[in-house]
Amino acid sequence: AQSVTQLDSQVPVFEEAPVELRCNYSSSVSVYLFWYVQYPNQGLQLLLKYLSGSTLVKGINGFEAEFNKSQTSFHLRKPSVHISDTAEYFCAVRAYSSASKIIFGSGTRLSIRP
Amino acid sequence: EAGVAQSPRYKIIEKRQSVAFWCNPISGHATLYWYQQILGQGPKLLIQFQNNGVVDDSQLPKDRFSAERLKGVDSTLKIQPAKLEDSAVYLCASSLGSGIRQETQYFGPGTRLLVL
């Protein structure tokens, strides 16, 4: 079975500052990794995903994440945040098996201060 | 392109009552998912359909929850009878298919259920 741990439930940062949202996963098999964003009163939207290849994945809105297999991590980063990035961010994992489902972490609420 | 539609957006009921949620996926998407998102937690998959067949319902509390996708398009999720712990946001998502490269899931805005 797979699991996802998002170590920070809330991350406050100032506008234009860099941010890193941490995600660690546990799995006995190879996995795909995802980051989703949920803006207030909206559904989830895919930010980026790692399927294979380069471990540095670039997504929408200037976000990127790096897959680190040895540390079983998939941290999300942005060099300079904007007020519009205020949202909840979910890390998710899915095993390679075609029968597996996506498992979501508990989320990190990013709040941007002007 | 129209997104995933869900209704109602909000629902308040008393425990032991019944409730139903409706979802219309993106046109052409074969796979439909229902998730339950309890406050402070990530979404948890309740049921996954491929066209009108069930692929995974291992986490659906079948004694009170049911779901159908009769014509392989829109879907209904029902709770009967509701319990206090069913208070959550119910998210519907759809994807082109279930293979990893077709599996980008597009989510609707959700239905927020409060059981009193």
A46 and B105 within 8 Å at the Cβ level: the answer is yes
Mean pLDDT of chain B: 92
Q: Model confidence over A71-97: pLDDT tens digits?
A: 999 999 999 999 999 999 999 998 887
Among A19-28, A40-49, A78-87, A98-107, where is mean pLDDT lowest? A98-107
Query: The dihedral of CA A62, A66, A72, A73: what is its sign?
Result: negative
**Residues in CB range of B63: below 8 A, 6 or more apart:** none
Q: Does B43 touch chain A (CB under 8 A)?
A: yes
Domain region containing B69? 5-115
- CATH number of the domain within which B46 lies: 2.60.40.10
pLDDT digits (tens, 9 = 90+) for B80-92: 999 999 999 999 9
Q: Tell me the three state secondary structure of residue B85.
A: helix
Q: Where are the domains of chain A?
A: 3-113
The answer to whether residue B108 neighbours chain A at the CB level (below 8 Å) is yes
Tokens representing A102 are: 């996506």
Choose from A10, A35, A60, A101 for mutation: most chain B CBs within 10 A.
A101
| Contact predicate A110/A21, CB 8 Å | yes
Q: CB–CB of A10/A111 below 8 Å?
A: yes
Instruction: Specify burial of residue B100 (Cβ count, 10 A radius: 0-12, 13-18, 19+).
Output: middle
Structure tokens at A91: 């890390």
Nearest to B108 among A32, A43, A102 (CB): A43
Q: Provide the domain count of chain B.
A: 1
Query: Which CATH number is A3-113 given?
Result: 2.60.40.10
